[in-house]
């Protein structure tokens, strides 16, 4: 929901930060893998109960995710890059929830509900992209990607804000997980509705 509104603010900053990275000769996929390593570090830190460290590593992961997109647009987006972007993002998102469950096992049911909701948003997002590509539906001109981007209430920005909140206030993980999970299911329902209208 917030992704589109924040793009005019974040994109120029990401483009600026991408300049020195580009001069090093790193490829977009190398930046993607580096960001994923930071995401794994965030999971390990969260599982150990070091939530502030986990948040810092996760924010660096998200920064790398934005920079690799800038580099890909300059060099030409690849199918492999788009694939890695999606898969590794979902691993980090679900892995962070799992890490919180490891740190606070008493909250495992809330964590399971949140991951269950992530499956709804993820599958409704990716399944639509498959059939949009099959039908040749146009990409969003304002947000060029390797796949058709279907929005919703809970997109990338909202998910990052969730992780910021629960990292700063881990004691609020349980209600946050249930509230955000419910919003994820509203997003999933909306995407299914869109798919019914577009793909029927």
Averaged pLDDT, groups of 10, the chain, 200 residues long: 76 87 91 97 98 97 92 85 92 97 97 96 89 71 46 85 97 97 94 88
Burial class (CB in 10 A: 0-12, 13-18, 19+), 67: buried
User: Residue 28 in 3-state DSSP?
Assistant: helix
Burial class (CB in 10 A: 0-12, 13-18, 19+), 7: middle
Say if residues 80 and 30 touch (Cβ distance below 8 Å): no
Q: pTM of the predicted model, to two decimals?
A: 0.85
Which residues make Cβ contacts (< 8 Å) with residue 157, sequence separation at least 6?
1, 2, 3, 6
The residue to which tokens 């881990």 are assigned: 170
Separation between Cα atoms, residue 99 and residue 22, nearest integer Å: 33
pLDDT digits (tens, 9 = 90+) for 167-198: 999 999 999 999 999 999 999 999 999 889 88
Separation between Cα atoms, residue 49 and residue 170, nearest integer Å: 9
Separation between Cα atoms, residue 38 and residue 64, nearest integer Å: 9
The predicted pLDDT at position 138 comes to 57
The predicted pLDDT at position 38 comes to 98
Separation between Cα atoms, residue 74 and residue 186, nearest integer Å: 35
Q: DSSP letters of 56-114? A: HHHHHHHHHHHHHHHHHHHH---HHHHHHHHHHHHHHHHHHHHHHHHH-GGGHHHHHHH
Name all domains of the chain by residue range, CATH numbers in brackets.
Answer: 3-199 (1.20.120.1760)
Separation between Cα atoms, residue 80 and residue 101, nearest integer Å: 31
């Amino acid at each position: 929901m917030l992704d589109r509104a924040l793009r005019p603010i974040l994109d120029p900053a990401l483009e600026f930060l991408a300049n020195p990275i580009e001069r090093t000769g790193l490829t977009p996929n190398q930046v993607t893998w580096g960001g994923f390593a930071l995401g794994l570090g965030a999971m390990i830190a969260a599982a150990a109960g070091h939530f502030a460290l986990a948040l810092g590593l996760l924010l660096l992961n998200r920064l790398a995710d934005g920079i690799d997109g800038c580099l890909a647009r300059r060099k030409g987006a690849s199918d492999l890059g788009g694939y890695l972007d999606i898969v590794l993002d979902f691993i980090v998102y679900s892995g962070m929830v799992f890490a919180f469950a490891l740190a606070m096992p008493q909250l495992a049911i809330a964590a399971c509900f949140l991951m269950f909701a992530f499956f709804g948003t993820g599958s409704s997002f990716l399944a639509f992209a498959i059939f949009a590509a099959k039908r040749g539906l146009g990409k969003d001109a304002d947000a060029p990607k390797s796949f058709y981007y279907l929005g919703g209430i809970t997109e990338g920005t909202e998910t990052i804000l969730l992780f910021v909140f629960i990292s700063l206030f881990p004691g609020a993980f349980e209600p946050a997980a249930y509230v955000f999970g419910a919003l994820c299911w509203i997003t999933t329902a909306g995407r299914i509705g869109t798919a019914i209208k577009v793909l029927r």
